[in-house]
A and B are shown apart, each in its own frame.
Chain A
């Protein structure tokens, strides 16, 4: 039988609220910490090759959910499986299948794109010569000139850095790609280029994508299905078309923004962090 690319069942993640963390990580010393439910009872299935968008305002739990899939956080309740492998018990197997791009391009700032990518490639067990060739190909595809790729990354623009982040994620040929606000803070042109590359990945490599965003147009145009997330919960999960149709007949020609507003009673303020 074939497993879905990603499956989650009843997943919850709680954090202790700011200021109520115990001084020492010893349970018997801890004051009763106040809990924040960052992810609350989330279940879904993501079939292979699909792009699933998670649309939600800041603080709704999108990144926490992505980190749970990425084995960087341990769920408090429920389970998550990547191609049938449990993210907690079989973390090593899961790590080989995934990679992630976060809104912040997390690199060794003084190292060049090539040096950063080389480090990533070796971590994934790639042989030096193969890695160098693949890095060259990907950087070329993303339109990063060879001399730019040898400069310290801190000297590249935000959009350029984000492309290198995508190159890093793609370099290791993940079957499940986790994109956490990959276009936040990018100028419209870079945004388009990144979106086109994501489409290409899916078309050519059948990569499954979990993508978070607070950009409605992006969710609408890029994703096969969209989950609307608010206060740690999925309040809806469907194709963009059906989500919009759900407001009919009272609201014909609704946008995802309208759907979000109707479901949560909140505005989805598309704040872009100043880059």
Chain B
């Protein structure tokens, strides 16, 4: 009686690990791309952060350069991280379609939940590693003063923010399942809009009010605000709690919604023959 569930859990864990191991193998085999992407991300983070460093020169007014540099760096890193989480989940289908392996993954005795859990685990570990490297390099270029920052609090908000982005990623992963040709471009549109409205490099309050309403439903908005409070305003856990709560609630809504929508889309794809056609 006890042994059975334990065995089932072990099977699921192995299957979920299949995706983690496979993806890290792919990272290793496509290391050239990874390197390009890393250089791009570092250059991008530096370019944005230098806007902060140069602001005193640009504006001629006295500004708190350290604050501005940190403000922009947080935006760049948090967005970079969420971008990785979002993409490595939303490209679950697109990538396998490109490789031609999708039918073999769908034919395996693995529940879609296990599949998505595996993909998510990878995205979190990979996102964290990648973002740490970018941070490590960028930090060499600036004298960052983060004394008194609530770093653990910032990480906790980041973790809560990951949840809702996992859900968004799963919903977006459905698009390439429904639209074999254009699905993955569509996810880029969703992302561009989120980047614009979520206050990645500026406070949401400078946006027109209709955009602010869109910002209110973007989890990135709360993740960024919460992390900035923790690092820049040295906020206590108490002050961060409402942000974490909201992000966790968003995750609890979007993840089951995503899995449900994914199930519907999978049925639709199997009914209409959209998984694969040739061979």
Contacts and interface: CB of A to CB of B under 8 A. Distances in A.
A106 B18 contact: no
B29 A119 contact: no
A125 B15 contact: yes
A107 interface: yes
A168 B18 CA distance: 14
Contact of A124 (B109, B111, B178): B109
A48 interface: no
A108 interface: yes
B26 A110 contact: yes
A43 B26 CA distance: 42
Contacts of A168: 104
B107 A99 contact: yes
A125 B76 CA distance: 39
A34 interface: no
Interface stretch (A68-76, A201-209, A213-221, A240-248): A68-76
Q: Provide the main secondary structure of the chain B interface.
A: helix
Contacts of A118: 21
A63 B111 CA distance: 24
Contact of B17 (A96, A111, A122, A124): A122
B26 A95 contact: no
Please classify how large the interface on chain A is, using the bins under 10, 10 to 19, 20 to 34, 35 or more.
35 or more
Nearest to A16: B272
Contact of A72 (B17, B21, B106): B106
Nearest to B99: A108
A71 B18 CA distance: 21
Interface string B77-119: 0000000000000000000000111011111111100000000
Nearest to A21: B272
A73 B270 contact: yes
Please classify how large the interface on chain B is, using the bins under 10, 10 to 19, 20 to 34, 35 or more.
35 or more
Given A63-B279, A123-B108, A152-B29, A15 B272 contact: yes
Contacts of A122: 14-15, 17-18, 21
Given A74-B270, A118-B21, A119-B18, A124 B107 contact: no
A58 to B, nearest CB: 11
B272 A71 contact: no
B271 interface: yes
A108 B109 contact: no
B267 interface: yes
B275 interface: yes
Interface string B246-279: 0000000000000000000001101111011011
Contact of B109 (A64, A125, A152, A180): A125
Nearest to B111: A92
Contacts of B278: 104
B24 to A, nearest CB: 10
A96 B29 CA distance: 30
A127 B30 CA distance: 26
Interface string B175-194: 00010000000000000000
Given A108-B101, A118-B21, A124-B109, 7 more contacts: A67-B103, A70-B103, A73-B270, A73-B271, A100-B107, A102-B279, A119-B18
Interface of A: 15-16, 21, 25, 63-64, 67, 70-74, 92, 95-96, 98-100, 102-104, 106-111, 115, 118-120, 122-127, 152, 168, 180
A-B CB proximity, top 8 nearest? A104-B279, A122-B18, A125-B11, A123-B108, A95-B109, A110-B29, A106-B100, A119-B22
8 contacts: A15-B273, A64-B273, A74-B271, A92-B111, A102-B103, A104-B278, A125-B14, A152-B29
